[in-house]
Structure 1
Amino acid sequence: MRDNRGVSEQHDPVEPEAKVTESQSTVTVRRAPRYYRFMALGVAVGLVVTLVLTFAFPEQDDFSRLQVFGFTGLFIVAICAALGALVAIILDRVSRRRARTVVMDVEHVDAVPAPEDDAQG
């Protein structure tokens, strides 16, 4: 087990009037991928592939290279972003198999409000 450097051992001082309720809860802990990062990587790969395909073939008389880049990029970037999202979904499913169930201690502190001093003047 890893040392948490005493973080869980440090408790805030609780006023004697506060009501402390302790309970245990079962939680599942796992690593989940960030979908937007995979999709952003797919967009970047799609732009590079589009750039390579644009300059790999000779220029046409009907369309400029910028037009070819734009039309090709619309489809390739969208497909690569979707593939990035698909990879993230697959990794998410795999991470669910490695999930661990742990018992978590929960403390609920309900502070009782201090009586107000009516002798202000």
Structure 2
Amino acid sequence: MSPTSDDHLEQVTVRRSPKYSVFLLLGGAVGLLVAMILTFLFDGTTQESPNTGLVYSQMQVFGFLLLIFVSVGVALGGAIALILDRVYARRARTLQVEHERIISAD
């Protein structure tokens, strides 16, 4: 016997969506860059901290800034991805497609 086909029209919604992982990684990378710039641009590590009375090395200051700015960068990257996702959701289009299923008669 020959195969038969079952086809019908369906409506589908087509829209773009941002890749969240790319935005999160890019935000973290920007945070890393900002922490690096602030660490090596300003030299405040030779002075004693007024809160703890300790002198922090440049790598300790970089670590503190890295924790703060990478977290903020990841959060901002995620927020930008969410905003873009909402914008793209408004621009979604509904299309009609033909769905075809071939049924083999064995």
1:41-83 CA-partner distances (Å, limit 9, x unpaired): 1011001100011112214241111111111101110110110
Q: How many residues align?
A: 98
Q: Could you tell me which residue of structure 1 aligns to residue 11 of structure 2?
A: 26
Superposition CA RMSD, Å: 1.3
* Larger Rg computed on CA atoms: 1
Matched residue SS, 2:61: helix
Which of structures 1 and 2 has the larger relative contact order (alpha carbons within 8 angstroms, sep 6+)?
Answer: 2
Spell out structure 1 runs of 4+ moving beyond 4 A: none
Unaligned runs of 5+ in 2: 47-54
Residue 92 of structure 2 is aligned to residue 92 of structure 1: no
Q: What letter corresponds to residue 70 of structure 1 in structure 2?
A: G
In the superposition, the TM-score normalised over structure 1's length comes to: 0.75
Q: Could you tell me which residue of structure 1 aligns to residue 36 of structure 2?
A: 51
Over the matched positions of the two proteins, sequence identity in percent amounts to 43
Unaligned runs of 5+ in 1: 1-15, 114-121
In the superposition, the TM-score normalised over structure 2's length comes to: 0.85
Q: Is the 8 A contact 2:45 2:61 kept in 1?
A: no
